[in-house]
Structure 1
Amino acid sequence: MENESETETAAQLDRHLERLAELLPDLAGALVLLLAFVLVGWIIGRALGSLVRRRGDRIHANFVSRLPVWIFAFLGVLLATDLLGWENLAAGLLAGGGMTALILGFAFRGVGENFLAGFFLVFSRPFRIGDLIQSGDLPQGAVTAVDLRNTHVRTADGRDIYIPNSIIFNSPLINFTRDGLRRPTFTLGVDYRAPLPEVRAAIVARVAGLEGVLETPEPRVTIASYEATHVMLEVWVWIDTFRGADFALVRTAAMEAARSAVLDNGWKLSADVSSAVELVDGRPSESGR
């Protein structure tokens, strides 16, 4: 009895080995086909990534280089299953793809929304790595990376913010460094008795020579408002961040230069005017002018 059972088991094992031996060529062919498709996708991805990377856009290069691999891998799986004679499985994958996508869409609606938003962000190109952006009411920061779910932004004070792509896609987006130009602005109060045309010219001449301040567009000084004891001037300078100009440092240097331009010519700043002028009904008195 035991001999009969052992014999039957050996026979079944032989049959399985025969089937496996018959299937091995098809398995090898399917595996080669799948690897070939993955390789083709990898080559195309590398080529597209290199092409995009030459334009200095690492965000799009990384995304474009990965997308063909997944597409060709999926096609390779379909053709490999067809080569093995598993037509029903291949047809099921194609027919069930829509239903699967629908089910997964409801189950992972947030993930899918962020993925699609990331896809459109990559190809709409609203920002690049290193750009200073602000999305909605969130703090502004430099773009560090973009993946399928979120965008990594690092603020000036060292905070790392991971913003879901759907928020950036659906909210107003400000790109401060799209063309590299930024405009530091500040105000400065001077005495009513100071000759304003000369004050403005002196400030422009002083800040125009600062390192990092562009000649074109040229610096400007305009009257911002008339206060009770002084005239408030607004100073504009332009910088090019692509040339390495630091916004905060250039703004500070411009503020110091504007202050020196006023004091060196003997004019008074708003703090000195406020302490020296006698006010009558909120206006400078005749004796204080």
Structure 2
Amino acid sequence: MNLNTIFLSTQSLQEGAEEVVKKVSKLSEYLGKAQDQLIAFGWKLLVVVLIWFIGKKIIRVILHILEKTFNRSNMETSVSTFLMAVIKAILYGILVVILISNIGVDTSSLVAVLGTATLSIGLALQGSLANFAGGVLILIMKPFRVGDYIITPDKEGTVTGLDIFYTRMLTADNRLVVIPNGTLSNSNIINVTHEPIRRLDLSVLIDYSENIKKVKDILERVASEHELVLKDYDTQIFVNSFDPSAINIGIRMWVKTEDYWTLKWDILEKIKEDFDANDVTIPFDQLDVNITNRDVVSK
């Protein structure tokens, strides 16, 4: 091996060593930057976690203060429940934006992305938006309140809550019914308990052989003696119709809304007892069949 070959080999080794040193130096520099970035990200993550927990505490305090304020102002339960749900959603939305901005995401671009996303989600969730709008309409128009007994085309029951998108109510047999606000705001609603008093309409059937005045006197006495019938309002007793097998007597009396069913069930029982005591006959449907002479029919 000559000196030239040895020199070239030494030079090649030196260049290789320098290249290795450069790569090691770059790797060390990259690892140093990565370490700094990881430390910075770790601090940001720690700050985000702290903001999240502190933000949740602040939101709870705000909601608690608002709830007390609503209760002191005698605000309707349905309105306060709805407003609390909306305010809670807004506060948590603000908290999420603050968290994202602290991570390092540009809020201006975030707003643009959120605007586009909101439009897309709005188109996809038209039904939910309609339910939200329905909830707002219910709050403005106030067709019912929490605690009212309402009748809808499909269900009936006592309203227990009005949320952002749905209204909850309990049926008489204690079943929970959840109705979308959009559907409810576009439906015919009968609010049974909106007024403090109601009129109870009854009808009883008597035989055609009975004395109408006697029957009316009995019904008048039963109504006047019952403690739940409101005496400040006239009780009406009248001949309602002449049915095929009986005379239909109508009775109209006024009662407090909360006593409606109690009065109805009780007074029907008392009417039957007084009819029995005074020998008043309640007829049943009859069908008279007349058979003529077969020979005549065949002719």
Q: Aligned pairs, how many?
A: 268
**Letter of the 2:230 counterpart:** L
Distance 1:185 1:179 in 2: 16
Which residue number corresponds to residue 268 of structure 2?
A: 255
Distance 1:95 1:10 in 2: 35
Q: Which runs of 5+ in 2 are unaligned?
A: 1-19, 291-299
Of 111, 115, 134, which aligns to 1:117?
Answer: 134
> Closer, same or farther in 2 for the Cα pair 1:22/1:264, shift >3 Å?
closer
| Contact persistence 1:45–1:66 (CA under 8 A) | no
Q: TM-score, normalised by structure 2?
A: 0.70
Q: TM-score, normalised by structure 1?
A: 0.72
Q: CA deviation at 1:206?
A: 0.8
Distance 1:160 1:121 in 2: 20
Distance 2:51 2:176 in 1: 45
Of 260, 264, 268, which aligns to 2:281?
Answer: 268
| Contact persistence 1:45–1:68 (CA under 8 A) | no
Which residue number corresponds to residue 50 of structure 1?
A: 71
Which residue number corresponds to residue 186 of structure 1?
A: 202
Distance 2:43 2:178 in 1: 53
| % same residue | 20
* Residue 16 of structure 1 pairs with residue 37 of structure 2: yes
> Closer, same or farther in 2 for the Cα pair 1:23/1:200, shift >3 Å?
same
Q: Considering only CA atoms, is the larger Rg found in Structure 1 or Structure 2? A: 2
* Residue 103 of structure 1 pairs with residue 95 of structure 2: no
Farther off after superposition, 29-38 or 161-170? 29-38
Of 253, 258, 265, which aligns to 1:237?
Answer: 253
> Closer, same or farther in 2 for the Cα pair 1:183/1:60, shift >3 Å?
same
Distance 2:115 2:47 in 1: 29
Which residue number corresponds to residue 148 of structure 2?
A: 131
| Contact persistence 1:33–1:80 (CA under 8 A) | no
| Contact persistence 2:48–2:103 (CA under 8 A) | no
**Letter of the 2:197 counterpart:** L
Distance 2:276 2:42 in 1: 95
Q: Which runs of 5+ in 1 are unaligned?
A: 281-289
| Contact persistence 1:45–1:64 (CA under 8 A) | no
| Contact persistence 2:205–2:248 (CA under 8 A) | yes
| Contact persistence 1:153–1:160 (CA under 8 A) | yes
Distance 1:91 1:216 in 2: 69
Matches for 1:33-72 after TM superposition, within 5 Å: 38=59, 41-42=62-63, 45-51=66-72, 54-55=74-75, 57-72=76-91
Distance 1:139 1:64 in 2: 26
Which residue number corresponds to residue 296 of structure 2?
A: none
Distance 2:171 2:49 in 1: 52
> Closer, same or farther in 2 for the Cα pair 1:41/1:70, shift >3 Å?
farther
> Closer, same or farther in 2 for the Cα pair 1:119/1:23, shift >3 Å?
same
Distance 1:142 1:28 in 2: 43
